[in-house]
Amino acid sequence: MSDTPGTPSPETPSTPPPPPPSNSGAGPSGKELDEGKLFAILSYAINIIGVPFWIAPLLMRNNDFALYHAKQAGFTWLAGFALFVVAIIIMVVLVAIFAPLACLAQIVMAAASVTLLILNILGIVNAVGDKMVPLPVVGEFAANLFKGFTKKA
């Protein structure tokens, strides 16, 4: 088929479409980043020893960067707490049934400890690198659990 004269040709856009948004995980810049970085790092670092420091930036809600990392660290802490409670329950039940199986609870505790340590270290690396990247496995759950916590106006 040939184009006949008088038939309009499809229009080509005059400007190219905008590039897709990057998912680099880069966080805020400037003053917001500088003010929130210490709290973001401490949320994970103090989390390692079991102290829920992440509650401070979560309650203050005055910095988006610190708040994001407090949510991630908070869910990691809560998940760790739940895992240890489950491990203790398993230990008590298994000791009552058959004592040699109680070592399974210790294996669960050890695996949970290593996993939580790795997640907290990844969180520290993200905070030091000025990134707002969800942690593996727990990141999306943290966003959903703490979605009501937003920066105060």
Evaluate whether residue 141 is within a structural domain: yes
Evaluate whether residue 61 is within a structural domain: yes
Q: Which domain holds residue 82?
A: 31-145
| pLDDT classification of 50: cutoffs 50, 70, 90 | confident
Can you give the pLDDT at residue 125?
Answer: 95
* Predicted confidence (pLDDT) at residue 5 exceeds the cutoff of 70: no
Evaluate whether residue 138 is within a structural domain: yes
Evaluate whether residue 9 is within a structural domain: no
Pairwise pLDDT comparison (53 vs 13), residue with the higher score = 53
Evaluate whether residue 87 is within a structural domain: yes
Locate tokens 């707490």: which residue? 81
* Predicted confidence (pLDDT) at residue 105 exceeds the cutoff of 60: yes
Q: Structural domain tally of the chain?
A: 1
Can you give the pLDDT at residue 20?
Answer: 44
**Could you tell me the pTM of the whole model?**
0.71
Evaluate whether residue 25 is within a structural domain: no
Can you give the pLDDT at residue 127?
Answer: 92
What does the pLDDT average to over 12-28?
Answer: 52
Pairwise pLDDT comparison (144 vs 17), residue with the higher score = 144
| pLDDT classification of 109: cutoffs 50, 70, 90 | confident
Burial pattern 114-134, b for ≥16 Cβ within 10 A else e, equals ebbeebbebbbebbeebebbb
Evaluate whether residue 111 is within a structural domain: yes
